[in-house]
A and B are shown apart, each in its own frame.
Chain A
Amino acid sequence: MATASTTTGFIRLLRALLIPFLALLAALLAGAAVMLLSGDDPLAAYSGLFQGAFGDGKSWARTIRKTVPFVLTGLSVALAFKVGLFNIGASGQFVIGSVFAVAVGINFDGLPAFIHLPLALLAGIAGGLLWGAIPGVLKVYTGAHEVIVTIMLNYVASLLGGWTVYAGGTQGQTPGPLWDRTAGAISETPDVLSSAQLPWLFGPPYRVHYGIFLALAAAVLIWWLIFKTPLGFEMRTVGHNMRAAHYAGIRVNYTIVLAMALAGGLAGLAGAIETLGLNHKFAPEFGGAVGFDGITVALLGQTHPIGVLLAAFMFGALDGGAAAMQFESGVPADIIQIIQALVLAFVAAPLIIRMIFRLRRQTHGDAGSAVSTSWSGP
């Protein structure tokens, strides 16, 4: 242990990256095996995937564009993990964030952009905060397990989002409040006013907006919050040992609700950025699949904000390349979902990876926090 602290820090970083890297490798190999078994050509698929993700400027742009929401939903799940909660609700929070942001974005005509845009983004964060706080509050005051509550809230959010843009039915049902009256039978909102749109960093055909900087800033901010502030210390203490936190005078309930709300806020921000930067409107199909992927991203990133950035980039590449892969090689893009599940499995069970790659066991560090709290709550 006599090495200088910078070296050990670097080695520790490498060691932390080893398992996720090998997990990805193993998942790609296993995915290839699945493709071979179902008669697809894995080499063609992966080369299509790589081309689609990094082949040219447009591919790079797509990868970056797709990375943004993964960073934020990954951070959302990672932050909840820090207080020992499993946030499966990022997709619901994403949807509510989108709806709130779009509600502000299509109204307030005439507001200058430097007020309108931040307002719309804040609305998205607020929506997510609200939706994230619900499971936190229920957990704290009734013991309802956040896993079930967040999943149910995902369905509720999706229906709620659907209702706000509902075009009305054939039986004369009332249309939703955000529905675009000019859209006929299509359920969607009008376009976000240009004063609330996130500007392009590179305009069409690249379509990269400034959201990437918001995502990067969020990652740094969350890193600082978790590891450098007293609040972060409190969150980590609650996550590691709730009783000890209570004993140490930390307001456990408040910390849990706050962390869940912030987690929701991050996912809500993701929704806001997607609507204000990319889709420029909300429709039911702009749902929150990225929310569910946030779980994998967070775990792959070892619930560390910097790790989440890397993992999100990887997911952005996988997602960005998927369509090109299907187009080039005819392998259904759903294979990506299988690969993502395998990555999650391998990351969550390092023992499998150690077995496959015959690594020697090492003592467990601070890395993962257990989430299998029982159903009865605190």
Chain B
Amino acid sequence: MTRYQPAAAQQPAGAPPKLEVLNITKLFPGVVANKNIDLALNKGEILALLGENGAGKSTLMNIIYGLYQPTEGQVQVDGRPVELHSPRDAIDLGIGMVHQHFQLVPVMSVVDNIMLGSESVDRGLLDRESVSAQIRELAERYNMPVDPNAVIEDLPVGVQQRVEILKALYRQADILILDEPTSVLTPQEIEGLFEVMELLRNQGKSIIFITHKLKEVLRVADRIAVLRRGEMVGEADPAAVSQQDLASLMVGRKVTLEVEKEPANAGEVLLQLRDIEAFTDLGEHALRGVSLDVRAGEIVGVAGVQGNGQTELVEVITGLRQAAAGSVLISGQDMTNASPRRITEEGAICHVPEDRHMYGMVDAYSVADNLVLSSYYKRPFSSGLTMNEQAIAQHAEELVARFDVRTPSVRNSGASLSGGNQQKMVVAREFGRPIRLLVAAQPTRGIDVGSIEFIHSQIVAKRDEGVAVLLVSYELDEIMALSDRIAVMFHGRISAVLPRRDATREQVGLLMAGAGVANEPASQ
């Protein structure tokens, strides 16, 4: 392993690093999350911590932020060993963290969120005025405009992220940990974030940037450290390393960055959406006239920043949400507001849901029961009056083998599997029956590279069998890699549909951010 090189601009010669972790090991029951990790962060640098899902990046950062206690090892700030028993200790040492899932209270205002835990109080009452003034000042200095009185849940994700960063700066953080900050942003917003990061670095802040995206690392990092399976496997200089090298280092084997597939051979229209309108549970107008066609044998990727109606779109297609207007035609049959079961059966549709724990599986059920979740009532699993446990177990054995679901037995609970295997279980159930239309939402969220490759290849295989595929993903890379056509969603509308070969990241990114929505898009 190569030691870090003290190359950063603002690190005074001979001074200890701003932050250093020494020989950190963290054990969870049955898992070694971190193993003998050494890492140093210099003053005024952006250090990228690269690793795939489950590599132990977040664990390490949570140790630095005082949320976890290491099993072994030590953290030093400015060369002095420190005790981090809670986030309070970390905050007091000038460590700030922007979590992957924002730690903001949705129903409270920006100012309340920012001062929470470090309130300014005047005669027993909260002094919102003075905090607002400080927020405006910080926002100005770091070029992150935000209205202190806005309520968090009304703000776009990009602005919410700004609030998170301001929250750390309000606490006078010198060390900023950004955990997967780009996963919810458009390419343009990502660029804006990088500019803020550079501004912060130039003003002397030290930043740890956690990601699994290679391009971003090369764009913004001063130095790169790579974690794999809980161990530090190397460091790299962004000027002297290629994406391919980083990928191999991250995964531990040669990785193909591109999904290999033949050009699409699109046939008849299997899914036809016309002017669909729908509302969220809270009554927000989530879909404002969505029209889209998906043909047999093609993958249509729906790109867009999370929260622009994708979730509701998938729910309307699969019958989980009522459409207020418009029509859904599957294989020419009107399925508008049909029951989920009718859509599944008559539409020959399968649905890989966005959140497997919320929709896709029952944690407490065995793998076998989870695998019949959408077919338990059919023969041979049920005779109508009683369930046939033997048939259910046999069916499970077959699917587990075919889809490489790693589980000690089909009787183990779904919850006991790893994220990647849970997702493969869901995919096995949905892909394992005859289908004509596949709706996959975020099919590879939060899982390891091996499982991602497997699921991607399965999706392409379905396409090649002539299945119509609607893929929804917030990861633009996934959309770019798999789609034959790209539909961009913004504010509850499809703002454009582009053939993959004509689409560039920049163009799609602009559309995702709302460019060109003024003129009503053609439905096809």
Contact = CB atoms under 8 A, between A and B. Distances in A.
Chain B interface size, under 10 / 10 to 19 / 20 to 34 / 35 or more: 20 to 34
Interface in A248-281: 248-251
A243 B358 contact: yes
B374 A248 contact: yes
B365 A240 contact: yes
A81 B320 CA distance: 24
A228 B381 CA distance: 11
Contacts of B53: none
Contact of B387 (A228, A240, A248, A249): A228
B320 A230 contact: no
Nearest to B377: A230
Given A230-B382, A230-B384, A248 B373 contact: yes
Interface string B375-412: 01100001011110000000000000000000011000
A230 B377 CA distance: 6
A142 interface: no
B249 interface: no
B341 A247 contact: no
B97 to A, nearest CB: 29
A223 to B, nearest CB: 13
A244 interface: yes
Contacts of B409: 1
Nearest to A366: B364
A230 B364 CA distance: 17
Contacts of A246: 320, 340, 359
Contact of B363 (A233, A241, A249): A241
Interface string A213-228: 0000000000000001
Contacts of A229: 385-387
Nearest to B385: A229
Contact of A244 (B318, B360, B382, B387): B360
Nearest to B386: A228
B513 interface: no
Interface residues of A, number: 17
B341 A249 contact: yes
B365 A230 contact: no
Interface in B421-450: none
Contacts, number: 59
A230 B369 CA distance: 12
A211 to B, nearest CB: 27
A246 B359 CA distance: 8
Interface string A1-21: 100000000000000000000
A203 to B, nearest CB: 39
A237 B362 contact: yes
A240 B360 contact: no
Contacts of A366: 364, 413
B230 interface: no
Interface in A191-234: 228-230, 233
Contact of B373 (A228, A230, A237, A251): A237
Given A230-B382, A233-B376, A243-B359, A249 B340 contact: yes
B376 A230 contact: yes
A228 B413 CA distance: 19
B204 to A, nearest CB: 45
A233 B339 CA distance: 19
Contacts of B320: 246-247
A247 to B, nearest CB: 4
A182 B365 CA distance: 59
B96 interface: no
Contacts of B359: 243-244, 246-247
Q: Most chain-A CB neighbours within 10 Å: which of B358, B362, B382, B384?
A: B362
A1 B412 CA distance: 11
Which 5 residue pairs of A and B lie closest in terms of their CB atoms, listed nearest first? Answer: A249-B341, A247-B359, A249-B340, A230-B382, A248-B373
30 contacts: A1-B409, A229-B385, A229-B387, A230-B377, A230-B382, A233-B369, A233-B376, A233-B387, A237-B362, A240-B365, A241-B361, A241-B362, A243-B359, A244-B358, A244-B359, A244-B361, A244-B373, A246-B320, A247-B318, A247-B320, A247-B351, A247-B359, A247-B373, A247-B374, A248-B376, A249-B340, A249-B344, A250-B341, A251-B339, A366-B413
Given A229-B385, A240-B364, A366-B364, 17 more contacts: A228-B386, A228-B387, A229-B387, A230-B387, A237-B362, A240-B362, A240-B365, A241-B361, A243-B358, A244-B358, A246-B359, A247-B320, A247-B340, A248-B340, A248-B373, A248-B374, A248-B376
